[in-house]
């Protein structure tokens, strides 16, 4: 690796000494460093295990140790000679503190495993697991070989009804509807031989579609008494900690339910009968486990529903683990932390920030991006490209590309492409991408491999279209956001080289703001978005003119205005009570519908609530100061009470009501006149007329 220690030291503000064999001949230098008590960053991940063991064996070692990979990320590349700014950025980011701890979600498994599938395959898997796990088999047919004559494991059968839960808490129910009782069956095979229709298989269950009720099986099973055609089907259920499913995905519906979501619950495994890595994982799933609670939810910000009317459903639709459900009665969504896998897609599509990513927090991710880009620029780096990738499959592709470049099989990561590892690529969205551009990133690439759910890709691309439209409307040139789909190193290499060639050919000049932003990413999503918009607007290449004062955005936009049909709107103000963001407001002194565009999240609750269907969403970004000011969308002349003159409604609304009720039998004469009164006068009028009627009915004195 062509490391330029002097340049790296200048960028990091410290003196650097290069160690080429720190894990072997120069291990003493590492041991001395970790005895200092100061934080130690090792810029190599290959010998992470060896370094950790060496630290454990070193007396007086008190220093916290961090590891960062600068080899595949930059040192092994055809542009390695120019990669010093990137390497400095990676080293600087490695010094950042670890994310703050968050509440943990506990799991407990006692090793109760249910294997579902053909009996022969299930017994094969059970034999490899029974020394560690308590195995029960749910037989789904005999398979090719049938069950073993020696019954080694509990076997149940029947019609699988429900299957729900997660690691340590699976609930499985089934209908025991077969004439053969497997607890009594001795597997003597007498019934299999006696059945004239061959309706009994080596799973010792009767195919009732083939059986013609000869009852030959009953006769040969008299001693065991395992076969009873008069047995009433019984519902049964049991709890399990783990499930191993051997059925083909999406198999025959008659085989019962499966977990078909892209991200199945923890503790549920599919097995093809060959990959032993799956069984090795199962063997380790006994004990107590925990994972971070990846999300935080603020119900008061949620735009999901009001008055049992659904507005925004983005998080429910995108969740690949089916961990989010609607609770309209409580005007909120429900997130099951046990099912949540921490992808963060729900937080990126949430327009209000009601759902936020908690581990790591947005401000921690923002600090990392700011550190990477500011260090890169300070070290003389140009045309920074931030590439976000997952810490598992994405990182593997990046490392494979580095090795391919070292072997001259690929170009490797370009010197200006800064990789940043995330728990999941869907965990950062619009406001953070725009912030990266405000910090000076010419492009933000999101590397997607095989692990992303299809709806995640749709969500990422929809948000990128919004972000790209914003920057284009502000005059920033070029393609700023791109999903890079690469299942292997060569795919990634081809995409990065093509992206660099396209950019060089286009010669974009105005791709970033002239002044890089200094603000920090805020805990609240909308606050960060506003900070990014303010900075990008202030330093926009495009001068504000009437023709570009409003930038049209795609439908997925969390920004926009409302168009109100004043001919339909009666100013009932039901939309005001439905708005979760206080974008719609009334005027206590006048019949007015007012709107603050900055607050609008385009959730659509106002449009679905409006009884007159008078509201239409207008996705856009208004560049003028009016965006942050209250604007009157509709107003009307007040209608005064015919008794006291106090305004109690709008002229249009009252006239519409009178027109609709004038022909009704219950609203004639005085009753119709009362509709023109305020609430107080209406009550007084009713009681006054009642008293007069009583007086009129008093008989005269004799």
Q: What is the CATH number of the domain that holds 299?
A: 3.30.70.20
197: pLDDT strictly greater than 80? yes
699: pLDDT strictly greater than 70? no
Query: Are 478 and 584 within one domain?
Result: no
448: pLDDT strictly greater than 70? yes
Q: What is the pTM of this model?
A: 0.88
* Across 214-223, 473-482, 533-542, 684-693, least confident range: 684-693
Query: Are 442 and 375 within one domain?
Result: yes
Residue 315 pLDDT class (50, 70, 90 cuts): very high
Query: Across residues 381-386, what is the average pLDDT?
Result: 96
Q: What is the CATH number of the domain that holds 119?
A: 3.50.50
The string of pLDDT tens digits covering residues 601-623 is 999 999 999 999 999 999 999 99
Instruction: Name which of 300, 297, 348 is nearest 325 in CA terms.
Output: 297
Query: Are 456 and 382 within one domain?
Result: yes
pLDDT at 649: 78
pLDDT at 253: 53
Assess if residue 206 is contained within a domain: no
d(CA 326, CA 336): 11
CB atoms closer than 10 angstroms to residue 222: 10
**pLDDT above 70 covers what percent of the chain?**
98
Query: Across residues 214-218, what is the average pLDDT?
Result: 94
Residue 701 pLDDT class (50, 70, 90 cuts): low
Residue 696 pLDDT class (50, 70, 90 cuts): low
Q: What are the tokens at 182?
A: 């497997």
Instruction: State which residues form the domain around 682.
Output: 651-696
Assess if residue 223 is contained within a domain: no
Query: Are 575 and 672 within one domain?
Result: no
132: pLDDT strictly greater than 60? yes
Domain boundary among 357, 384, 400: 357
Query: Across residues 674-701, what is the average pLDDT?
Result: 75
700: pLDDT strictly greater than 80? no
306: pLDDT strictly greater than 90? no
Radius of gyration of the chain (CA): 34
Q: Is the dihedral of CA 187, 193, 196, 201 positive or negative?
A: positive
The string of pLDDT tens digits covering residues 538-573 is 999 999 999 899 999 999 999 999 999 999 998 889
Query: Are 353 and 464 within one domain?
Result: no
pLDDT at 695: 53
288: pLDDT strictly greater than 70? yes
CA 433 to chain centre: 17
* Across 291-305, 338-352, 637-651, least confident range: 637-651
Residue 12 pLDDT class (50, 70, 90 cuts): confident
Query: Are 24 and 150 within one domain?
Result: no
Q: Is the CB of residue 477 less than 8 Å from the CB of residue 439? A: no
The string of pLDDT tens digits covering residues 645-683 is 888 877 777 888 888 888 888 888 888 888 899 989 999
Q: Is the CB of residue 340 less than 8 Å from the CB of residue 321? A: yes
- Average pLDDT of the residues of the chain: 92
509: pLDDT strictly greater than 90? no
Domain boundary among 243, 259, 289: 289
d(CA 295, CA 426): 13
pLDDT at 6: 83
Query: Are 116 and 245 within one domain?
Result: yes
Query: Across residues 443-459, what is the average pLDDT?
Result: 95
Query: Across residues 224-253, what is the average pLDDT?
Result: 88
The string of pLDDT tens digits covering residues 66-96 is 999 999 998 899 999 999 999 999 999 999 9
Residue 405 pLDDT class (50, 70, 90 cuts): very high
495: pLDDT strictly greater than 60? yes
Query: Across residues 215-239, what is the average pLDDT?
Result: 93
Query: Across residues 635-643, what is the average pLDDT?
Result: 87
Name the most confidently modeled range: 6-15, 22-31, 35-44, 405-414. 405-414
Torsion of CA 665, 671, 675, 681, to 10 degrees: -160
Query: Across residues 285-313, what is the average pLDDT?
Result: 92
Instruction: Name which of 525, 535, 536 is nearest 471 in CA terms.
Output: 536
Query: Are 322 and 382 within one domain?
Result: no
Assess if residue 337 is contained within a domain: yes
Instruction: Name which of 658, 562, 630 is nearest 601 in CA terms.
Output: 562
Q: Where are the alpha helices (DSSP H) in 303-417?
A: 314-318, 345-349, 362-378, 393-406
Query: Across residues 139-161, what is the average pLDDT?
Result: 89
Query: Are 21 and 115 within one domain?
Result: no
Q: Is the CB of residue 295 less than 8 Å from the CB of residue 340? A: yes
The string of pLDDT tens digits covering residues 574-588 is 999 999 999 999 998
117: pLDDT strictly greater than 80? yes
* Across 249-258, 466-475, 511-520, least confident range: 249-258
Residue 149 pLDDT class (50, 70, 90 cuts): confident
DSSP state of 215: -
Query: Are 389 and 314 within one domain?
Result: no
Query: Are 315 and 305 within one domain?
Result: yes
Query: Across residues 239-249, what is the average pLDDT?
Result: 94
d(CA 27, CA 35): 13
691: pLDDT strictly greater than 80? no
d(CA 46, CA 83): 20
Backbone angles phi, psi at 241, to 5 degrees: -90, -30
Domain count, the chain: 6
pLDDT at 623: 96
DSSP state of 180: B
Residue 532 pLDDT class (50, 70, 90 cuts): very high
Assess if residue 604 is contained within a domain: yes
Assess if residue 260 is contained within a domain: yes
pLDDT at 604: 94
- Does a cis peptide bond (omega within 30 degrees of 0) precede residue 554? no
**pLDDT above 90 covers what percent of the chain?**
76
Domain boundary among 590, 607, 635: 635
Assess if residue 628 is contained within a domain: yes
The string of pLDDT tens digits covering residues 167-180 is 999 999 999 999 99
Q: Is the CB of residue 487 less than 8 Å from the CB of residue 495? A: no
Assess if residue 197 is contained within a domain: no
Query: Are 420 and 407 within one domain?
Result: yes
Q: Would you give the end-to-end CA distance of the chain in angstroms?
A: 123
Query: Across residues 336-360, what is the average pLDDT?
Result: 95
Assess if residue 414 is contained within a domain: yes
């Amino acid at each position: 690796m062509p490391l330029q220690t002097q340049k790296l030291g200048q960028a990091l503000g410290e003196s650097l000494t290069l160690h080429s064999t720190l894990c072997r001949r120069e291990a003493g230098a590492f041991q001395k460093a970790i005895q200092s008590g100061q934080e130690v960053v090792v810029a190599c991940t290959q010998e992470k295990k060896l370094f950790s063991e060496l630290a454990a064996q070193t007396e007086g070692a008190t220093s916290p140790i961090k590891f960062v990979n600068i080899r595949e990320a930059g040192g092994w590349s055809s542009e390695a000679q120019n990669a010093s700014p990137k390497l400095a950025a990676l080293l600087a980011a490695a010094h950042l503190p670890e994310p703050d701890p968050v509440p943990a979600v506990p799991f407990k498994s006692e090793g109760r495993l249910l294997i579902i599938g053909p009996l022969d395959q299930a017994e094969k898997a059970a034999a490899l697991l029974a020394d560690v796990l308590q195995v029960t088999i749910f037989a789904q047919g005999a398979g090719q070989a049938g069950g073993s004559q020696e019954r080694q494991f509990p076997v149940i059968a029947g019609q699988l009804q429900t299957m729900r839960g997660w690691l340590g808490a699976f609930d499985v129910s089934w209908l025991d509807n077969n004439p053969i009782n497997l607890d009594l069956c001795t597997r003597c095979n007498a019934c299999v031989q006696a059945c004239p229709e061959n309706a009994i298989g080596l799973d010792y269950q009767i195919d009732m579609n083939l059986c013609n009720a000869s009852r030959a099986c009953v006769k040969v099973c008299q001693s065991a008494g395992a076969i009873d055609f008069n047995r009433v089907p019984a519902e049964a259920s049991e709890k399990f900690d783990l499930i191993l499913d051997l059925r083909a995905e999406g198999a025959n519906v008659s085989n019962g339910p499966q977990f078909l979501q892209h991200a199945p619950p923890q503790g549920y495994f599919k097995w093809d009968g060959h990959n032993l890595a799956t069984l090795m994982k199962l063997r380790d799933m006994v004990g107590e486990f925990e994972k971070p609670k990846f999300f935080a939810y603020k119900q008061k910000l949620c735009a999901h529903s009001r008055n049992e009317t659904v507005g925004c459903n983005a998080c429910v639709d995108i969740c690949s683990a089916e961990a989010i459900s609607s609770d309209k009665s409580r005007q909120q969504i429900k997130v099951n932390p046990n099912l949540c896998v921490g992808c963060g897609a729900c937080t990126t599509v949430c327009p209000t920030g009601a759902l936020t990513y908690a581990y790591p927090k947005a401000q921690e991710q923002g600090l990392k991006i700011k550190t990477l880009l500011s260090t890169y620029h300070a070290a003389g780096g140009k045309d920074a490209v931030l590439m976000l990738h997952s810490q598992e499959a994405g990182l593997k592709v990046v490392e494979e590309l580095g090795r391919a470049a070292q072997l001259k099989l690929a170009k490797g990561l370009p010197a200006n492409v800064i990789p940043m590892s995330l728990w999941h690529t869907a965990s950062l969205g619009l406001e953070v991408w725009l912030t990266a551009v405000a910090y000076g990133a010419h492009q933000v690439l999101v590397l997607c491999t095989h692990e992303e759910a299809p709806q995640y890709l749709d969500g990422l691309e929809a948000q990128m279209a919004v972000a790209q439209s914003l920057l284009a409307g502000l005059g920033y040139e070029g393609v700023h956001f791109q999903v890079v789909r690469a299942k292997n190193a060569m795919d990634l290499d081809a995409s990065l080289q093509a992206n660099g060639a396209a950019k060089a050919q286009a010669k974009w000049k105005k791709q970033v703001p002239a002044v890089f932003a200094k603000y920090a990413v805020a805990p609240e999503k909308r606050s960060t978005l506003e900070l990014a918009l303010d900075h990008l607007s202030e330093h926009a290449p495009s001068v504000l003119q009437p023709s570009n004062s409003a930038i049209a955005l795609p439908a997925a936009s969390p920004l926009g205005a409302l168009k109100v049909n004043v001919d339909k709107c009666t100013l009932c103000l039901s939309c005001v009570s439905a708005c979760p963001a206080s974008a719609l407001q009334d005027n206590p002194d006048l019949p007015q519908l007012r709107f603050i565009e900055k607050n609008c999240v385009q959730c659509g609750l106002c449009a679905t609530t409006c009884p007159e269907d008078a509201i239409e969403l207008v996705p856009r970004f208004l560049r003028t100061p009016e965006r942050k000011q209250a604007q009157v969308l509709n107003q009307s002349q007040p209608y005064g009470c015919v008794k006291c003159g106090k305004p109690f409604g709008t002229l249009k609304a009252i006239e519409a009501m009178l027109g609709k009720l004038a022909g009704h039998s219950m609203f004639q004469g005085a009753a119709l006149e009362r509709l023109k009164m305020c609430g107080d006068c209406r009550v007084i009028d009713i009681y006054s007329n009642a008293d007069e009627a009583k007086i009129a009915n008093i008989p005269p004195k004799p």
